[in-house]
Amino acid sequence: MNRIKTDICIIGGGSGGLSIAAGAVQMGAKVVLLEGHKMGGDCLNYGCVPSKALIASAKQAHAMSHGAKYGVGEVEAQVDYAAAKDHVHDVIAQIAPVDSVERFEGLGVHVISEFGTFISKTEVQAGDTIIEARRFVVATGSGPFVPPIPGLDTVKHYTNEDIFDLREKPKHLIVIGGGPIGMEMAQAHRRLGCEVTVIEGAKAFGKDDPEMAAIVLENLKAEGINIVEEAQAEQISGKGKTITVHTPKGDFTGSHLLMAVGRKVNTDKLDLDAGGIAHDRAGLKVGDDLRSITNKKVYAAGDVAGGLQFTHVAGYHAGVLIRSMLFGLPSKQKTSHIPWATYTDPELAQVGLTEAQAQKKFGGRLEVVRFDFHHNDRLIAERKNKGLIKVMVVKGRPVGASIAGPMAGELISMWAMAIANNMKMSAIANTVLPYPTVSEVNKRAAGAYFSPRLFESDKVKRIVGFVQRWLP
C-alpha cells in the first residue's frame, strides 16, 4: 500500500474539482486529484455539453423546414440521427483535452484514476494508495435519479448518461420528467423527427416562474410535443418494441423511454461515515463556508454541497474554497446572484427571486417591471420577438429577474452581474448598447422602471415647465 501526504486532496474530476485543482496547484499547493470515472464529470460527458450539441443539430433541422417567413424555400430536413450523435461525441472530444489527466498532470497535479473512499477522518484510500491531506474537497457531483416505478426494471430505459449513445432514432420518445433536462431533450428529439410525449407528475418547469414557463410550454406544444402534467407514472410495462407508461390520466405508449425526473448526489462510494462527515440525501452537511459541520478538514463543492445543482455553481464554489483553503480568508457562498437557464426554444432563465418569492419577502415594497420582446427591433427583424422579461425591484435595486424568450440564457447575465454587485436600476438604464441588439431588452426593462417616474410625474412636469420659462 502506497502512502501520500498532500495539502489538498480532491475527490472528483468534474467542473468544481478541476477548477480547484488547477487554481490551487498553480498557486503553490500540493494537490492530489482522484477520479475513478471520466475526467470532466457529468457536464462534459453526459450533461451540458452533449445536450447543447444535440440541441444544435435539432435547431438546424428545424430551421430548414421553417424558412418561408424569411423568403427562403422550406425543405424537409433529412435527419441522420446516428450522424447527429457523431456530432455530439465530436464536440465532447474537442473539449475533453482541457479536462484531461495529461493536462492536469502537466500543471503539477498528482492524478490518481481511482475512486476515493474515506477510511478515517484524515485519510482517503484510492486503489492501492492512501492519501493523508491537510484538506479534503468532495466534488463528486450527481447522477440521474431513477425512481422505483413498478415495471421500470423490466423495460429498456435511458437517462442522460446513455441517451447520447443511442444511435437508433426513436419513433416515439416518452420522457418522464418535465424539468430542464426532460424538456430540452423532448424538443431536440421532436425537431429531429421523433414523436414525443412528456409525462410530468406535477407542473412542467415547476421551479420557474409560471408566467414564463407558460410562454415556453406554448411553443413546445405548438411544435407537436404532447405534454401531460399532473400525471404521476404509476406503472410501466413493455410488449415487443413498445413501452407503455400507466398514469391516472391514461396510458401512453412509445418506442423509447427517457427518465429525467431529477438528480441524486454521488456519495455511495465515499463512506462518509468513516470520515466522520455528516450527510443526508442532498449531500454533505456544510455551512455557508462549504465546510463540513462535523469534520473541519473536509469541504464540499458543486452538487454534493446540497444546494443548486449547476455546473457554474461548482465553478463558483471553487473560487470560494480557494480563498479560504489557500489564503485562510473568510469566504462564504451566497445564492442570490446565481442564475440558471433552460436551453429550449424559447429559452427560460432566472436569477434571484421570482415574482412570487419577491412578493412574499418584500410585500408592498416590491415593484415589478416588464418588457415584452415584441418591441425589440432586432428580434422583430429575425421574427423571433415572442418573449417577456420581468425584473423584481426593491428600493431601486433588482432582487430578481425572469426571462422567457430568445437568448434568455445570455440576457440573464446582466441581471446576475447587477444583483451580485448590488447595482441600481440606473446602472442598467444608463448603459449604452449597440443598436439593434437583443440585449436592448434589458435596457428597455430598466427604462420601464423609470418611465412612470419621469413621464407620469406632475412634479417633473412642473420642474420642466419652470425651466422652460426661464431658460434663455
Mean predicted confidence (pLDDT) in 316-327: 95
Question: pLDDT by residue (tens digit) across 40-70?
Answer: 999 999 999 999 999 999 999 999 999 999 9
Mean predicted confidence (pLDDT) in 266-278: 98
Mean predicted confidence (pLDDT) in 96-124: 97
Predicted confidence at residue 455, as pLDDT, reads: 65
Half-sphere exposure of 143 toward its Cβ, with a 13 Å CA cutoff?
12
C-alpha to C-alpha distance for 414 and 412, rounded to whole angstroms:
6
Q: For residue 36, what pLDDT band results from cuts at 50, 70 and 90?
A: very high
CA separation (Å) from 308 to 20, 44, 303, 337?
18, 18, 7, 12
Predicted TM-score (pTM) of this structure: 0.94
Measured torsion, CA atoms of residues 244, 245, 246, 248, in degrees rounded to the nearest 10: -140
Neighbour tally for 147: CB within 10 Å: 13
CA 27 to chain centre: 29
CA separation (Å) from 252 to 232, 233, 256, 280?
12, 10, 11, 35
CA separation (Å) from 377 to 78, 323, 371, 382, 383?
33, 44, 13, 9, 10
Mean predicted confidence (pLDDT) in 461-465: 74
Q: For residue 454, what pLDDT band results from cuts at 50, 70 and 90?
A: low
Mean predicted confidence (pLDDT) in 222-240: 97
Q: Which cell numbers hold the place of 460? A: 417633473
DSSP state of 290: -
Mean predicted confidence (pLDDT) in 321-336: 92
Q: Are strands 195-199 and 172-176 parallel, antiparallel or unpaired?
A: parallel
Question: pLDDT by residue (tens digit) across 377-435?
Answer: 999 999 999 999 999 999 999 999 999 999 999 999 999 999 999 999 999 999 999 99
Amino acid (1-letter code) at residue 251: D
Say how many Å lie between the first and final Cα of the chain, rounded: 91
Question: pLDDT by residue (tens digit) across 146-197?
Answer: 999 999 999 999 999 999 999 999 999 999 999 999 999 999 999 999 999 9
Mean pLDDT for all residues in the chain: 95
Above 90 in pLDDT, residue 202? Answer: yes
- Tell me if residue 381 falls in helix, strand or coil: helix
C-alpha to C-alpha distance for 443 and 432, rounded to whole angstroms:
8
Above 90 in pLDDT, residue 253? Answer: yes
Percent above pLDDT 70 for the chain: 99
Measured torsion, CA atoms of residues 50, 52, 57, 59, in degrees rounded to the nearest 10: 160
Q: Which cell numbers hold the place of 13? A: 474530476
Domains and CATH numbers, the chain: 2-39+100-142+264-327 (3.50.50.60), 152-262 (3.50.50.60), 339-455 (3.30.390.30)
Predicted confidence at residue 453, as pLDDT, reads: 74
C-alpha to C-alpha distance for 304 and 77, rounded to whole angstroms:
42
Predicted confidence at residue 243, as pLDDT, reads: 98
Mean predicted confidence (pLDDT) in 225-250: 96
